[in-house]
Amino acid sequence: MRKSMFVVEGSYAVAHAVKVCKPNVISAYPITPQTHIVEDLAQFHADGEMNCEYINVESEFSAISALIGASAAGARTYSSTTSQGLALMHEALFNASGMRLPIVMTVVNRALSAPINIWNDQQDSISQRDTGWIQLYAEDVQESADMTPQLYKLAEDEDVLLPAMACMDGFILSHVYEPVILLEKDITDEFLPSYDPEFVLDTKNPMSFGAFADPSTYTEFRYKQEKAMGVALEKIEQIANEFKDIYGRYYGGLIDGYVLDDAEIVIMAMGSVIGTIKDTIDELRTEGESVGLLKVRSFRPFPKDAIRKALKNAKVVITLDKNISVGKNEGALCTEVKACLYNTDNRVPVIGFMLGHGGRDIPMHMIKKIVNKAKLVEKGIFIESEFADLREDLA
């Protein structure tokens, strides 16, 4: 194991993971902070290390559109994007999912304009929540890389056939150098079978993709997408375990806990902030605080049952969101967690904190401040959801 560990940039680790998954078609368009991934892939391709078509498209809209065509023609496909690029893809994201094309894309999470900002938050992928894509959020570089073959296996499963986003925090994960175990070429033998779709554009067996569905048939297409998400819910856990059996690494399937079982205060979050939270919890535990972590790895499909079960003993739940639904004064995780508890007997208070927008740092003392605020809930719910890291001189 140790032999294959290298100190590499997060983007390189992901590009390397893509390479060993042997995609047939890659489309690429530059946008910060995603660009290093497609640059590394371009170099692999230029060096003859990848046997694929690499298309330099003229926009993110064409990046995803080219993959729609390629996937329908039977190719394993890859692209990566972020922020404005993902927003530009919006219309085509629905289309790819509706046509049940198992495209895998890395989303290097970044804030949206205006004001223009190239740094990390998760507004971009959260805003694509309802497009019918699977969304997993990675905690660190190793998970970002390992998520790639896991998502191909999931997306291409004949009972799933949905496109998938591997979400990794921009700069914090994409540009950091960490020791990483690079996946070996034989992953396609051991873990990820080759893609051999039943429905494909083939002149020997002509099929029509993307037909016009009127009110008498449209609903069932949506229903079947939802059913497939339900299958994905089971398979995400299964695939994570299968990966663990072969490679010994596990990051949770749908969710993961950290000193969760006895925790009275449970912090919920997604992405790279998980590491900061774990360190903070370690300190708080030594100070005698009963704090634990519930990491949400799968945002779509949303693991309602797993979350309900994990929050059984919680006295207060804190959600951290690097996004906001403007006009709701809440981040998406907060809204979704509250909604999934509503029809249960669990009346645990859920308090939302929005932070880290546009790349604002989330230090440990910020997490501690949030925990202290949440403890006030013993006297009643004073805070439902608020910005945790406002600068008072600008607010």
> Total number of residues binding another protein (CB under 8 A)?
43
Query: Is the CB of residue 354 less than 8 Å from the CB of residue 383?
Result: no
27 near another protein, rule: CB under 8 A: yes
203 near another protein, rule: CB under 8 A: yes
Nearer to another protein, 78 or 171 (CB): 78
Place of tokens 């494909």: 200
Query: Is the CB of residue 318 less than 8 Å from the CB of residue 266?
Result: yes
206 near another protein, rule: CB under 8 A: yes
Angle at 367 between CA 362 and CA 373, to 5 degrees: 135
202 near another protein, rule: CB under 8 A: yes
217 near another protein, rule: CB under 8 A: yes
The rounded distance, in Å, linking the Cα atoms of 109 and 124 is 6
Nearer to another protein, 211 or 395 (CB): 211
- Give the contacts of 96 (CB within 8 A, at least 6 positions apart): 64, 67, 68, 71, 103, 133, 163
Sole binder of another protein in the list 41, 66, 255, 388 (CB under 8 A): 66
Please identify, among the stretches 61-69, 148-156, 365-373, 385-393, the one whose residues bind another protein according to the rule CB under 8 A: 61-69
**Mask of contacts with another protein, 332-361, x by CB under 8 A?**
------------------------------
67 near another protein, rule: CB under 8 A: yes
Sole binder of another protein in the list 42, 57, 87, 364 (CB under 8 A): 57
71 near another protein, rule: CB under 8 A: yes
Place of tokens 């779709």: 197
Sole binder of another protein in the list 5, 46, 116, 213 (CB under 8 A): 213
24 near another protein, rule: CB under 8 A: yes
Nearer to another protein, 27 or 135 (CB): 27
201 near another protein, rule: CB under 8 A: yes
Nearer to another protein, 48 or 327 (CB): 48
The rounded distance, in Å, linking the Cα atoms of 316 and 351 is 8
The rounded distance, in Å, linking the Cα atoms of 132 and 99 is 10
198 near another protein, rule: CB under 8 A: no
Q: What is the largest CA-CA distance in the chain?
A: 70
363 near another protein, rule: CB under 8 A: no
Please identify, among the stretches 46-54, 118-126, 231-239, 342-350, the one whose residues bind another protein according to the rule CB under 8 A: 46-54
Nearer to another protein, 77 or 109 (CB): 77
73 near another protein, rule: CB under 8 A: yes
- Which residues ranging from 234 to 273 are in contact with another protein (CB under 8 A)? none
The rounded distance, in Å, linking the Cα atoms of 391 and 395 is 6
Nearer to another protein, 84 or 144 (CB): 84
372 near another protein, rule: CB under 8 A: no
Q: What are phi and psi of 300, to 5 degrees?
A: -135, 120
123-152 as b/e: b if 16+ CB within 10 A: bbbbbbeebbbbbbbbbbbbbbbbbbbbbb
Sole binder of another protein in the list 77, 81, 97, 135 (CB under 8 A): 77
Single-letter amino acid code for the residue at 198: E
Angle at 108 between CA 364 and CA 240, to 5 degrees: 80
Closest C-alpha to 126, from 163, 173, 79, 90: 90
The rounded distance, in Å, linking the Cα atoms of 84 and 320 is 23
Chain residues binding another protein by CB under 8 A are 24-25, 27, 51-53, 55-59, 61-62, 65-75, 77, 91-92, 95, 99, 201-203, 205-214, 217
